Amino acid sequence: MRCADVAVLLAEQQTLPLATTLALSFHLHECRACRARAAYLAWLEGELAGLPRVTAPAALRPAVLARVGEGRVGVARGLRAGVVGFSAVASPVGPLLVAYGEAAIVRVAFGGISEADFAATLAGRRDPAVRRDGTPPAWVAAVVADHFAGRRLPATVFDLQGVPAFGRQVLLKALEIPWGEVRPYAWLAREIGRPGAARAVGQALGRNPVPVLIPCHRAVRSDGGLGGYAFGLALKERLLALERIR
Amino acid sequence: MPGEAATGELLAALVCREPTAFERLVAAYQDRLFNFAVRYTGSREDAEEVVQDAFVKAHRALYQRLAADRLVNLSLTPWLYRIALNTARNHCRRRELPTAPLPAPDEAEDPSGGLHSGGPEDEAERDGLRGALAAELRRLPDRYRAAVVLRHVEGLTYAEIAEVLGQPLGTVKANVHRGMLRMRPGLAAWHQTGCAEEENHALR
């Protein structure tokens, strides 16, 4: 081992294979210059890591928020208007009842849920007078068509503000499962950094406010079992069959 | 420092355009980015401007430019450091241009000991080891300084730094190492004792 090799190895001492570590320590034992250099590097690392942390001045956050136009209610670009209307959209699994705001889909139901029941679940939201549209807005029809054409929908077409943080992470991850594929609940749990939370993932998927479009039906059990479905297993099977999975 | 799960939650909130999401992002990262900017620019005033500008750029990217699909898989931490670093670089360039032409990196040594006009954060640091460390960092050519500060002051992994700098892992490792060695002559007065102790320890 040459001194030049030592220089490189010192930078990654924690990850070296055993034989290299041994060769390195042998060289360090023999070579005074490399030993001094290694000592210097260790010392400097310690000193740099020990520099006192400086905290941001208190004025920084308000200044940033003022510059981006946040910090005032109602200005945030992301604020959605809640539900403005709903409509029945034809689909290969029967009519989907879709409720939407100005620019995002808020809720979906299907499988024999009556319009009256669906409208009742929407009442009490921000807008009490929910419109029943005879035909869905073009963008809503396009989103549904995109889904059944196997295209992945962007997260921004959904309004998930009523969903708690954990559930939202689960749903956004489920949105990434491609058409024609399934993933175990445990996979979703791992992907969002909560391995071991497979059961909670299942529950969060069961509360998916926009089923079908956020494809919670593509989550199954690790042993190949279908798992559950809020609208009944028959519909889950139909949705999967449509994607030629079963 | 926000953990992986917390970062994921923050991203989800950003994707869903939750009204408080950006504010939470600022709260979670302002101290890290500010500390980084102070160590990188050598001045609190510069750092404050840099971090403000960096957050404004991040906001623009998050809310106007980035497609939601890309956003969901963003590595938030390296991405934010990258914006802060680029902002700091531009800031330093702007500041230095009118007064003097940019010196070649190797001649960037500055008779004042490398302390920027704003100075490090407290008077006590002007003297002593910490002042010397700040001065030596400030004197390093940019490619080494960024790598050393991100690795050993901010504690990012080599992989994260590679993402911040857009460089291969090997280049990052080499630059961290070379940067550390470049600071050696300037720090000789301080590491002599530490070095001697280490050697005694090794010989025992």
Nearest CA in chain B to A8: B174
Q: In chain B, whose CA is at the least distance from the CA of A59? A: B48
Q: Which of A33-42, B145-154, B194-203 has the lowest mean pLDDT?
A: B194-203
Q: Name every residue whose Cβ is closer than 8 Å to that of residue A52 and which is 6 or more positions away in sequence.
A: B130
Q: Structure pTM?
A: 0.58
pLDDT for residue A83 is more than 50: yes
Yes or no, beta carbons of B26 and A65 under 8 Å apart: yes
CA separation for the pair A12, B173 (Å, rounded): 8
Interface of B with A in 80-99 (CB under 8 A): none
> How far are the Cα atoms of A193, B105, B126 from residue B162, in angstroms, in the given order?
22, 22, 32
Q: Which residues in chain B (41-70) have CB-CB distances under 8 A to chain A?
A: 44, 47-48, 51-52, 55-56, 59-60, 63, 67-69
Architecture category of domain B1-102 in CATH: Orthogonal Bundle (1.10)
Cβ contact (<8 Å) for A155 and B72?
yes
Picking from B44, B68, B121, the nearest residue to A154 by CB comes out as B68
Q: Which domains does chain A have, with CATH numbers?
A: 3-49 (no CATH), 81-159 (3.30.160.70), 160-246 (1.10.10.10)
The dihedral over CA atoms of B103, B107, B110, B113, expressed in degrees to the nearest 10, equals 150
Q: Is the CB of B103 inside 8 Å of chain A's CB atoms?
A: no
> Is some CB atom of chain B closer than 8 A to the CB atom of A49?
yes
> Which residue in A44, A63, A161 is closest to B187 by CB distance?
A44
What is the separation of C-alpha A96 from the centre of its chain, rounded to a whole number of angstroms?
Answer: 24
Determine which of A96-100, A105-109, A115-119, B36-40 has the lowest per-residue pLDDT on average.
Answer: A115-119
pLDDT, one tens digit per residue, over B118-133 is 444 444 444 688 888 9
pLDDT confidence of residue A129: 65
Structure tokens at B1: 């420092």
Helix (H, G, I), strand (E, B) or coil at A241: helix
Q: Is A31 a catalytic residue?
A: no
What φ, ψ does residue B157 adopt, rounded to 5°?
-80, 160
pLDDT in tens, A165-205: 889 899 999 999 999 999 999 999 999 989 989 999 999 99
Residue B108 pLDDT: 38
Beta carbons of B35 and A55 less than 8 Å apart? yes
How far is the C-alpha of A53 from the C-alpha of A110, rounded, in Å? 55
Domain boundaries, chain B: 1-102
Nearest to B52 among A60, A156, A165 (CB): A60
Rounded to two decimals, the ipTM of the complex is 0.75
The alpha carbon of residue A237 is apart from the nearest alpha carbon of chain B, in Å, by: 27
Segment 141-160 of chain A within 8 Å of chain B by CB: 152, 154-156, 158-160
Is pLDDT above 90 for B141? Answer: yes
For residue A202, the Cα-to-chain-centroid distance in whole angstroms is 15
B121 CB within 8 Å of a chain A CB: yes
